[in-house]
Structure formats: C-alpha cells, structure tokens
Amino acid sequence: MSKSASVVRLFMGFILIATGVHASCPIELSPPSVVVRYGDPVTINCSTSVSPLEGLGWEVTVNGTGIVEVNHLPWTVANLTEWTISPSCFFNPSENSSHTQCFKKAKVVLYTFPETISITCSGDSKGVMKENKDYNFTCDIHNIAPVQNLTLRWYKRDTIIHTETFDFSAKEPMNLTSVLLGFTPTRQDNGVTFRCEAHMNLGSEGPKLNLSSQEYKVTVHFGPELQCSGTDLLEGTDLLEGDSLKNHCLVEGNPTPSVKWLKDGQPIDPGIPMSRTNSGLYTVEAEGSSFINKTLRVHVLYGPELKCPSSYTALEYSPHNITCTFEGYPQPEIMWYRDGEEVELPANLKRRDTGQYLITASNNLSSVNTTLEINVIYPPSEIVELEDSEVELGSEFWLKCSSMGNPRPKYFWNYYQMSNVVEKSEDGVSYLLIHNATAFNNGSYTCHASNERGNVSKTARVTVKGARQECPIQISPDRMVIQYQGTSQTAKCQVTSTAITNVKNKYWQIRKDDRIDNEDWRDVDTYKDWDLRPVCIATFVGIGTCQKHLKFTLYKTPDSVSLSGQTGPMEEGKQYLMQCDVANVAPASNLYVYWHKGKERFNIGTFNDTTPTPVNRSSTVTLTAHRDHDGTQIWCEARLHFMPTAPDTPAVPSKSHKMIVLYPPTFIKPETEMLEIKAASRVL
Ligand SMILES: *[C@@H]1O[C@H](CO)[C@@H](O)[C@H](O)[C@H]1NC(C)=O
Ligand SMILES: *[C@@H]1O[C@H](CO)[C@@H](O)[C@H](O)[C@H]1NC(C)=O
Ligand SMILES: *[C@@H]1O[C@H](CO)[C@@H](O)[C@H](O)[C@H]1NC(C)=O
Ligand SMILES: *[C@@H]1O[C@H](CO)[C@@H](O)[C@H](O)[C@H]1NC(C)=O
Ligand SMILES: *[C@@H]1O[C@H](CO)[C@@H](O)[C@H](O)[C@H]1NC(C)=O
Ligand SMILES: *[C@@H]1O[C@H](CO)[C@@H](O)[C@H](O)[C@H]1NC(C)=O
Ligand SMILES: *[C@@H]1O[C@H](CO)[C@@H](O)[C@H](O)[C@H]1NC(C)=O
Ligand SMILES: *[C@@H]1O[C@H](CO)[C@@H](O)[C@H](O)[C@H]1NC(C)=O
Ligand SMILES: *[C@@H]1O[C@H](CO)[C@@H](O)[C@H](O)[C@H]1NC(C)=O
Ligand SMILES: *[C@H]1O[C@@H](CO)[C@H](O)[C@@H](O)[C@@H]1NC(C)=O
Ligand SMILES: *[C@H]1O[C@H](CO)[C@@H](O)[C@H](O)[C@H]1NC(C)=O
Ligand SMILES: CC(=O)N[C@H]1CO[C@H](CO)[C@@H](O)[C@@H]1O
C-alpha cells in the first residue's frame, strides 16, 4: 500500500453552550459527570450541606425544576435524547446567609454507537482486483457520536495500516466515511483481508466500544503471463536440449490459465523434452483472466558436434577440399591447432603443412575435438648427387640418386645392365654399385624418380678409362660374297649375349628407306644390288645406338679377258706395251689381273677403284723384249679375290700368245762350260 489518506465528512452542525462555573458553590453533584447512551435514563443528585437555605433547583431543557426548599434534589430523565443537554443545579441561600446564589453544571456525555460499520471498495466486484490497478477502500460509519472519542483503524490482515481520529467538536451523531486511497494490489496480495475498526473511548466513566467491519477479502487477478527462464521474450528463448517448454516457460495467472502450445498451427505437448530439431516459432495461447496469444522463437541449445575426415591427402599448391561439418547452438567456434599452436589452414597446402591437426568446436555449453592427419603430396624434386664420373678399369664405384617427394619416390634406373651392377635402395635413396668396372659399364645412367604426382630423371655419364666399348652386335657371316645371278644368302644380326637385356631395338638398314626389322636378312637382287651396304643398327640402354656393317659384295666374273699388244716379232731390247682387257667385271677392287709368260707369273694388276658395278678394266705392262722370251707363251688371266672370307673365283684366262723376239747373233766364249751358240731361228 503506497499511500493513504482519510477524509471525514461532517454532516451535522453543532451547538456550543457556553457556561460559567462557580468555584465555591456549596453544592455537590453526584455523579458530577455522566456518560449516557442515547435514550437511556439519567439521574444526577444535587445536594448541599448548607442550611438553612432557600432551596435547590435544576435549570435544564428537560424535566427542570423550580427552586425547591430541600437540601438534596435529584434530576432524572427517563429517556435522554437531548444531544446538547447541559443541566445546572442552582443554590439559593437564605436571606441572612453568607452564601450567595450559585450553580454547578453537570457534565453529561450522550453517546450513540452503530451496530455495524461497512467496508467497500471502488470498482468493486466481490473483492476481485486486477493487479497493479489502483483501488480505494471506503469505511462507512453511520450515526456515531461523539466523533471526537472515535478512533478508526484500518487493518490489512491483522496489521494496522492506518489510524484516523476526528477532531470535530460536535456532540450530535455524524455519518463518517474513511477512505483508504490508492491500494495497488500485487499478486502477493491475493487472499489478503482488509477491515476497518471503530473504537469509541469514553474515558473511565464510560464504556469502551469496539466494532469491526466485515472482512474484505481481496482476490488479485493477473496474467496469463508467459515467463521463460533467463530470456528476453522479444528475442525468443533459449532452452537446453532435453528440457521441455513446460518446464522452461511458465504461464502464470490468477485464475490459473489454461495453456495451449502450438507449432505451425498444430497443438503440441509442451511436456515433451525438446531436441535440436525442434527449434522454431512456437505460439502459446493462454486463457485466464484474459487471453494472450504470443509467438516465441525457441532455440534449442546443444553442445557442438564436429565431423572431420580423420585423414586427408592434398596436392601441393592446389586448393584442398577439407570439409569439417559441425553443428551446435549457439554456433560453435572452430579452432585449428597444430603442435599446440593455433593455426589457420591455408587454401593451398604446402608440403610443410603435412602433419596432425587438432580441431576443436566449442560453444558456451561444451567443447569437442577431433584430430585430422593431413598429408600433402608433391612430385619428386630434381635429382641431386648423380654426377658424371670417370673411373678406372677394374675399379669399384657407385652412383647415387636421391630425390624428395611425397609419397617417397620410387626409383628406376636405365643403363646398360651387367651382372657386375647391383641396385640397392636405402632411406629413400637409390644406389648402383659397380664392381670391377669393364668397358660395358661405359655409358649413360639415367635415374628416374617417380611417385603418383610426377617424375623426374637425370642422366650421368660414366667413362671407364681406357676401355672402349664395341657395339655389342654380331653379324654372321660378317662378309657376304654373292655371285651375279647367283643365289642369295642369309645374314643374321644378333646382339651379344650380355647385351640381350639391354637392347631396345635392332634392325637391318639395307638401303636408304629400306629397313628390315628382322634378325635375318636375305633378299638380294643378284642382278642389281651392286652397291649394297647393309648395316645392322641397334639401340641399347645406356650406350645408345650403334651399328655394324655387313661386308657385302656382289661380284661378276669377267665376260672375257683378252690380251692385246705386239707379241711378235719383237726386237730384243725394245719395250712393248701389253694390255689385258677384262670385260664386264665387278667389283674392280677385287679384280686381280695376273700376267704369265711361260711358267712365270711376272705381274699382277690391281685396281684402285671403288666402283661396285661391272666395269671394263685393263691392265697394262711394259715388257722389254729379251731373247729368252722368244717362243714363250704370254697370257693374262683375271680373277676375283675375296680371301680370306670367301673363296676366290676361278681365273678367266686370255688367249695365250707366243712371243717372237728377234736378236742378233752373239758369240759367247765359254769358260769352263760348254760353249753354246745360239742363233736366231728367224730373221726379221
Ligand atoms: C446519516 O445517514 C442516514 C442514512 O444512512 C440518514 O438517514 C441520516 O439523516 C444521516 N444523518 C446525518 C446527520 O446526515
Ligand atoms: C420528570 O421527573 C419525574 C420525577 O422526578 C418523572 O417521574 C418524570 O418521568 C420525568 N419526566 C421526564 C420527561 O422524564
Ligand atoms: C424515549 O423517547 C424517544 C423519543 O422521544 C422515544 O422514541 C422512545 O421510545 C422513548 N423511550 C422510552 C423508554 O420511553
Ligand atoms: C480514489 O479516490 C481519489 C480521491 O478522491 C480519486 O481521485 C480516485 O479516482 C479514486 N480512485 C478510484 C479507483 O475510485
Ligand atoms: C494468435 O495469433 C495468431 C497470429 O498473431 C493468429 O493467427 C491466431 O489466430 C491467434 N490465435 C487466437 C486463438 O486468437
Ligand atoms: C570435395 O570433397 C567431396 C567429398 O569428399 C567431393 O564430393 C567433392 O567433389 C570435392 N570437391 C572438390 C572441389 O574437390
Ligand atoms: C579433446 O577432447 C578430450 C575428450 O574428448 C579431452 O579430454 C581433451 O582435453 C580435449 N583436448 C583439447 C585440447 O581440448
Ligand atoms: C674383373 O673383370 C675381368 C674381366 O671381366 C676379370 O678377368 C677379372 O677376374 C675380374 N676381377 C674380379 C676381382 O672380379
Ligand atoms: C687410290 O686412289 C686414291 C684416290 O683416288 C688415292 O688417294 C690412293 O693413294 C690410291 N691408292 C693406291 C694404292 O694407289
Ligand atoms: C437570621 O439570623 C438568625 C440568627 O442570627 C436568626 O435566628 C434567624 O431568625 C434570622 N432569620 C431571619 C429570617 O431573620
Ligand atoms: C471522551 O469522553 C470523556 C468523558 O466521557 C472525556 O473525559 C474525554 O475527554 C472525551 N474525549 C476524548 C478525545 O476522549
Ligand atoms: C435519590 C437520592 O439518592 N437521594 C439522596 C440525595 O442526597 C441526600 C443527602 O446526601 C440523601 O439523603 C438522598 O437519599
């Protein structure tokens, strides 16, 4: 109750009778003052001890007396109803008395007290009030007197909350109204009682009169009111998962409201525990002392959940696609840690980002974490530590190939494989160990490092000092000599046994643009292929391409061999030119012209001539005629020599000519031997 005031209304005027009182008047009033209920009888005895006297008398508006010669005189009213009555007893002394006329006034208090007093309230509807509205209580007391002896008390429950007195001097009864102003009820005031009490205190001579109004019981109506814990209803309300709307949001009111919860227009049971999927707009309709219809955004709070892959393989420098999904309300904060340090994952990962990460998701409810293993893969780096080298024949050496990559690169070597070369891998590095270096270890060594991201290679050249490697192919036969119009032969081209694993390809190159990918070659046109230079070409790992020639000859024996020149008669001592013509022979370089005279082969003609096709060639000799030649046969023969690889062809001889040499006769003086005289048999 905030404030109170009271107003007393005066409905009746009053009359004041002013009287004087003589102090030494020799009479006695018994009783001297009297409290009388309205309508009750009253008697006051007036007496005196003075005598003689003329008499006593009552001057009063009701039942007064004249002077009566008595020493005591009662005044009696059977039914006192005169509010302003003021009886005085007069004393009249005898003539020679020392007393003078005097009087005494009796004090008469006439009172009336109601049987009921009533309490009422503004806007009254049987004690029902609305919370926080202002109410005035009124206490009505009718017909009470004397009001100056009245005390009015206001009670709330049994506590005096206000006391009121009335300082009117009127003696007549009045109608009094006391108003208790501005009572503002709260819900806590529900059920309290108010009353007013009238207390009439009429002093020691009179009764004590108390009267209470009926009790006024207050019923405070309020609500319905929606109250959700810890929230601003404008924003909505947050409740923990598992909590129910009924528990979280109270709908209060007097009378107790009937409450209906709706979601999307459908009634729901507010007692069911809420789950994270139940966030949304809810409507609560409550019917109590009034109707409310409130829409409320409800957020269901729950701790974070985090889902990340446990491992991820990323390509270096390309955008990664690591997706961690998380939920929770309030929205959790996501943090990444690596080795205890907070990190931010770059969009493009580099190799140094490989490692284990801790990811945490936290909101104000809880925190979860998970680990993620990131593997950044990248292609092998440029090969280092593989260098050109020069080693001694028979020595031991190694080649090293090393490259960085993720996944760790696999190594592959390209080189001319030999049994003395061993491959070995250790700690991501590959080695080639070579014992007892030979000419076959000459060549290039290519190391390839590869992983799923790419590959690199590097080549080093190994030179074994003082060792020259021959092309490891073998042609058999290594020489082919074929006769014109004869039959063709077969030449084989094979790689040597140690080279078999290293050969990449092998073919016969017969002519320009005539390549035969066969080991065997045989198709010779024995009419035409004068200038064939068949070569077998092979490519090997480590040493590259090399070749060997097949020494090929298509030969033709001469069609004819004829000797010309002067054969006779010749003059001794003179020189004669002889010519041997060889017709249509090939190749000239293999042609040998043998000159014969008698049993003696006296000259050989050869030809510094690379012409492969059949040619005519002549061999000439200058012969100085001598008598010894006379009669001797002279001829020439042509022959093709292929030794030692092929048998020689049979000799083709010319016709033989008999030489006739003329010479003068001579005399020879014999000494110890028999003298012989020769004479020319013929004379020119
Ligand atoms: C007091 O009220 C009553 C009715 O309640 C009325 O009859 C009476 O005349 C009133 N007295 C005065 C002095 O106004
Ligand atoms: C006046 O007094 C006499 C006796 O003293 C009594 O009988 C009578 O009733 C009184 N009258 C009134 C109006 O009281
Ligand atoms: C007293 O007087 C009043 C009015 O004068 C009257 O109404 C009442 O009945 C009387 N009472 C008695 C006891 O005589
Ligand atoms: C209570 O009394 C005051 C003063 O007379 C008045 O202004 C106010 O309107 C009253 N209140 C009610 C609810 O009657
Ligand atoms: C409550 O309010 C909503 C929207 O404000 C309205 O659609 C619905 O009809 C109301 N319900 C009642 C029972 O008044
Ligand atoms: C990201 O990852 C998901 C699932 O692993 C896959 O479906 C999607 O294609 C990837 N996106 C890209 C851009 O790599
Ligand atoms: C990760 O979660 C576990 C429980 O799941 C907890 O014991 C640990 O302390 C957390 N670590 C960090 C760094 O938050
Ligand atoms: C080295 O190689 C040569 C030729 O191949 C061989 O004769 C010699 O025995 C080898 N030495 C060793 C130690 O293997
Ligand atoms: C063969 O001829 C060439 C040039 O045609 C010449 O250089 C060479 O010396 C000659 N050889 C002989 C043995 O005559
Ligand atoms: C007054 O006085 C007394 C004595 O002093 C008398 O006795 C009375 O008779 C007298 N009274 C009158 C009337 O005189
Ligand atoms: C009430 O009445 C008594 C005698 O009857 C008197 O003495 C007293 O002064 C009066 N007034 C109050 C305020 O008590
Ligand atoms: C009625 C009454 O009480 N009368 C008395 C008044 O006083 C005288 C003297 O004291 C008495 O004698 C009366 O009896």
The model's pLDDT over 153-201, given as tens digits with 9 standing for 90+, comes to: 999 999 999 999 998 999 999 999 999 999 999 999 999 999 999 999 9
- E strand or H helix at 246: helix 245-248
Write the residue with the smallest CA distance to atom 5 of ligand 8: 438
Residue 156 resides in a domain: yes
Say how far residue 254 (Cα) sits from the centre of its chain. 53
Would the pLDDT of 478 be above 90? no
Q: What's the number of domains the chain is made of? A: 7
Same domain for 106 and 7? Answer: yes
CA of 177 relative to ligand 4 center, distance in Å: 14
Looking at ligand 12, which atom is closest to the CA of residue 73?
Answer: 6
Write the residue with the smallest CA distance to atom 1 of ligand 10: 96
Same domain for 57 and 94? Answer: yes
Ligand 1 and 112: CB distance under 6 A: no
Residue 684 resides in a domain: no
Would the pLDDT of 683 be above 60? no
Cβ burial, residue 4 (10 Å; 0-12/13-18/19+): middle
Single-letter amino acid, residue 345:
L
**The two structure tokens encoding residue 196:** 């007013």
The CATH number of the domain holding residue 162 is: 2.60.40.10
Would the pLDDT of 20 be above 70? no
Say how far residue 298 (Cα) sits from the centre of its chain. 28
Domain boundary among 555, 572, 601: 555
Same domain for 616 and 642? Answer: yes
Same domain for 400 and 449? Answer: yes
Domain that holds residue 43: 3-111
Would the pLDDT of 671 be above 70? no
Same domain for 184 and 91? Answer: no
Residue 231: what pLDDT? Answer: 67
pTM: 0.56
Same domain for 630 and 654? Answer: yes
Residue 352 resides in a domain: yes
Ligand 11 and 35: CB distance under 6 A: yes
CA of 320 relative to ligand 6 center, distance in Å: 9
Average pLDDT over residues 560-574: 89
Kindly indicate the confidence band of residue 667, based on its pLDDT and cuts at 50, 70 and 90.
confident
Write the residue with the smallest CA distance to atom 11 of ligand 10: 96
Choice between 676 and 334, residue whose per-residue pLDDT is larger: 334
CA of 302 relative to ligand 2 center, distance in Å: 98
Single-letter amino acid, residue 14:
F
Same domain for 331 and 361? Answer: yes
Residue 261 resides in a domain: yes
CA of 20 relative to ligand 1 center, distance in Å: 33
CA distance 324 to 376: 18
Write the residue with the smallest CA distance to atom 8 of ligand 12: 72
Q: From the CB of residue 582, how many other CB atoms can be counted at a distance below 10 Å?
A: 28
Choice between 592 and 666, residue whose per-residue pLDDT is larger: 592
Same domain for 572 and 539? Answer: no
Residue 473: what pLDDT? Answer: 94
Length of the chain, in residues: 684
CA of 603 relative to ligand 9 center, distance in Å: 19
Kindly indicate the confidence band of residue 643, based on its pLDDT and cuts at 50, 70 and 90.
confident
Same domain for 73 and 165? Answer: no
Question: Ligand 10 pocket check: which of 96, 97, 98, 99 to mutate, most ligand atoms within 8 Å of Cβ?
Answer: 96
Best-predicted range by mean pLDDT (242-246, 623-627, 639-643): 242-246
Nearest to 236 by CA among 303, 302, 293, 294: 294
Residue 193: what pLDDT? Answer: 96
Query: Strand 208-212 to strand 216-217: parallel, antiparallel, or no bridges (unpaired)?
Result: unpaired
CA distance 209 to 408: 113
Write the residue with the smallest CA distance to atom 1 of ligand 8: 436
Residue 634: what pLDDT? Answer: 93
Residue 295 resides in a domain: yes
Say how far residue 75 (Cα) sits from the centre of its chain. 115
The CB-based long-range contact list for 293-297 (8 Å cut-off, 24+ gap) reads 294/226, 294/233, 296/226, 296/228, 296/233, 296/236, 296/237, 296/249, 297/235, 297/236, 297/237
Would the pLDDT of 416 be above 50? yes
Residue 95: what pLDDT? Answer: 86
Average pLDDT, the chain: 90
For residue 263, the 8-state DSSP code is E
Ligand 12 and 28: CB distance under 6 A: no
Looking at ligand 12, which atom is closest to the CA of residue 45?
Answer: 6
Give residue-wise pLDDT tens across range 435-471. Answer: 999 999 999 999 999 999 999 999 999 999 988 888 9
Average pLDDT over residues 200-223: 93
Give residue-wise pLDDT tens across range 295-321. Answer: 999 999 999 999 999 999 999 999 998
Would the pLDDT of 17 be above 90? no
Looking at ligand 7, which atom is closest to the CA of residue 337?
Answer: 13
CA of 134 relative to ligand 4 center, distance in Å: 8
CA distance 214 to 162: 17
Pocket of ligand 5 (CB under 6 A): 285, 293
Domain boundary among 302, 326, 353: 302
Question: Ligand 2 pocket check: which of 44, 60, 77 to mutate, most ligand atoms within 8 Å of Cβ?
Answer: 77
Nearest to 46 by CA among 117, 121, 109, 104: 104
Residue 672: what pLDDT? Answer: 59
CA of 204 relative to ligand 3 center, distance in Å: 27
Would the pLDDT of 595 be above 50? yes
Question: Ligand 11 pocket check: which of 107, 201, 205, 208 to mutate, most ligand atoms within 8 Å of Cβ?
Answer: 201
Same domain for 209 and 133? Answer: yes
Residue 676: what pLDDT? Answer: 53
Number of the ligand closest to the Cα of 94: 10
Q: Of 20-34, 374-388, 411-425, 481-495, which range is least confident?
A: 20-34
Number of the ligand closest to the Cα of 441: 8
The CB-based long-range contact list for 416-423 (8 Å cut-off, 24+ gap) reads 416/440, 416/441, 416/442, 416/443, 416/499, 416/502, 416/540, 416/541, 416/542, 416/543, 417/501, 417/502, 417/541, 417/542, 418/498, 419/498
Kindly indicate the confidence band of residue 638, based on its pLDDT and cuts at 50, 70 and 90.
very high
Average pLDDT over residues 407-428: 93
Residue 455: what pLDDT? Answer: 94
Residue 673: what pLDDT? Answer: 55
3-class SS of residue 229: coil
Same domain for 568 and 653? Answer: yes
Kindly indicate the confidence band of residue 635, based on its pLDDT and cuts at 50, 70 and 90.
very high
Residue 671 resides in a domain: no
For residues 508, 510, 512 and 514, what is the CA-based torsion angle, rounded to 10 degrees? -70
- E strand or H helix at 177: strand 174-183
In Å, how far are 104, 310, 324, 337, 537 from 367, measured between CA atoms? 101, 18, 15, 14, 74
CA of 181 relative to ligand 4 center, distance in Å: 7
Choice between 406 and 682, residue whose per-residue pLDDT is larger: 406
Residue 670: what pLDDT? Answer: 59
Residue 538: what pLDDT? Answer: 95
Same domain for 495 and 544? Answer: yes
In Å, how far are 144, 194, 295, 296 from 264, measured between CA atoms? 67, 47, 11, 12
Residue 677 resides in a domain: no
Residue 183 resides in a domain: yes
Kindly indicate the confidence band of residue 511, based on its pLDDT and cuts at 50, 70 and 90.
confident
Domain boundary among 500, 522, 555: 555
